[in-house]
Structure 1
Amino acid sequence: MIQPVRSLRVALADDHAVVRAGYRRLLELEPDIQVVAEYGDAESAYFALTQTQPCPADLLVLDLSMPGRSGLEILRRLGQRLPSLHVLIFTMHDGAAMLTQCRQAGARGFVTKSSEPEVLIDAVRRSGRGEGVWPRSAEQAERDGPPHERLSPREFDVLQHLLAGRGVDEIAGLLHLSAKTVANYQTLIRQKLGVSTAIELLHYARQHRLMEL
């Protein structure tokens, strides 16, 4: 007797309920895809997926810009706790810096929300099988990227928060670091990017499309 092929179990993490409902409906039209859970923020996704054994999903479709901890930080933490869980980034941002950071943090793929529905469905299937799903420019961006692509993952996190207008104390609370540590990161970031003031940092960010949060 031929055994039926098990559906790909997908979890969704996006802070916009209407967006989640839209692509949940899109994915559930596919006979081989089952949406098993959805979350409104990255921390909820991390807690639910890591506290349930075995993990209820094969693939997490993860937005990056959500309340609380950033999607990038959760992506790295999931890679440490659940290496068998594949993660597909589904975001409105398409900058090369963000793409490179996601790839280095362990994502299986990267799709922008401006993509056609068929692109998302194909990316879900492929990343669910463990294949890499990346824009063609990803490898070139890694080889020839500008200074911000040489930031460490933690420095890039701090940079995103700075660009969102958060102060040192607020960032320290969000990232569970001391204010002194965050201030040191801020100094290192400016040195690596070749800027000396907040205005210059903002100009650099706009020039390189880094306004991600």
Structure 2
Amino acid sequence: MSQVNYPIRILLVDDHIVVRAGYRRLIERQSHLQIVAEASNGEIGYQLYIQHQPDVIVMDLSMPGRGGITTIQRLSSRTNKARVLVFSMHEEPIFAEHALLAGASGYITKSSAPEVLVEAIERVAQGEMYLGNDIAQKLALHSVLNNASTGIKNLSTREFEVFRLLAEGLSTTDIAAQLAVSHKTIANYYSQIRQKLNVNNTAELIRLAIRHGIVKI
């Protein structure tokens, strides 16, 4: 457990300004918590982390441009001091698995009670790992029932991000523009993803994503 200096300094990263305003009202009621900056996407969040060096980053996963998982991995590659608490609408355990593999220190869902967010921030700031009860139970069940043949758990962080965007109906051209990489790079990822998931085309990929809760219908 790490020594914590108060107030705990927090960076909020979420693309919805109304949602961030709600977080701010909740967090600022706590005298020992302080929001030092806000970002609307992962790229801005990364730059603001470098600038402000917050104690905890509270980050969504689904954002325009660099998604949360890719941003977490980028932060983890830069420093082992970045403590990221994922606060996401995604309740499927596969999202938590990939976020934790990328380097997140905690994962809670947006259906969690307000006091859970406060506790999670405190625990992550102390250097602990924190999972909300709902996602922890699903992860435990998923580890027992998971069918390795799906291949989803074997996707790399970037492959999972591209998989999610493909499943949401974006073209490879759109994904390349959103992630600021070449179309050829995304085309290569698409080929690798199809091979790992044992699917032949985008339609099969989308059906697989729906079946495993990656996207909703």
Category of TM-score, reference length = shorter chain: 0.7 to 0.9
Check the 8 A contact 2:166/2:206 in 1, yes or no: no
Change (3 A) 1:12 1:187: same
Matched position secondary structure for 2:130: coil
Check the 8 A contact 1:142/1:149 in 2, yes or no: no
1:143-190 alpha-carbon deviations (Å, 9 max, x no partner): 763421111112112111211222222323333444333223212212
1:86-110 alpha-carbon deviations (Å, 9 max, x no partner): 1000011111111100000000000
Partner of 1:22: 22
- Percent of aligned pairs with the same residue? 40
- Distance in 1 (CA, whole Å) between partners of 2:185 and 2:81 is 32
- Distance in 2 (CA, whole Å) between partners of 1:120 and 1:162 is 31
Q: Which moved more, 1:70-79 or 1:194-203?
A: 194-203
| Alignment map for 1:144-159 (pairs within 5 Å) | 145-146=146-147, 147-159=151-163
Check the 8 A contact 1:68/1:174 in 2, yes or no: yes
Partner of 1:125: 122
Q: Does 1:98 align with 2:98?
A: no
Change (3 A) 1:196 1:17: same
Partner of 1:42: 42
Q: Which moved more, 1:135-144 or 1:145-154?
A: 135-144
| Alignment map for 1:175-194 (pairs within 5 Å) | 175-194=179-198
Change (3 A) 1:166 1:48: same
Partner of 2:11: 11
Matched position secondary structure for 1:119: helix
- Distance in 2 (CA, whole Å) between partners of 1:67 and 1:178 is 17
- Distance in 2 (CA, whole Å) between partners of 1:149 and 1:116 is 29
Change (3 A) 1:37 1:178: closer
Partner of 2:207: 203
**Count of aligned pairs:** 205
- Distance in 2 (CA, whole Å) between partners of 1:80 and 1:120 is 26
Check the 8 A contact 2:163/2:193 in 1, yes or no: yes
CA RMSD after TM alignment:
1.9
| Alignment map for 1:53-92 (pairs within 5 Å) | 55-92=52-89
- Distance in 2 (CA, whole Å) between partners of 1:206 and 1:137 is 17
Matched position secondary structure for 1:192: helix
- Distance in 1 (CA, whole Å) between partners of 2:143 and 2:100 is 10
1:104-156 alpha-carbon deviations (Å, 9 max, x no partner): 00000001001111111111111111111122443564576342111111211
Gaps of 5+ in 1: none
- Distance in 1 (CA, whole Å) between partners of 2:185 and 2:39 is 31
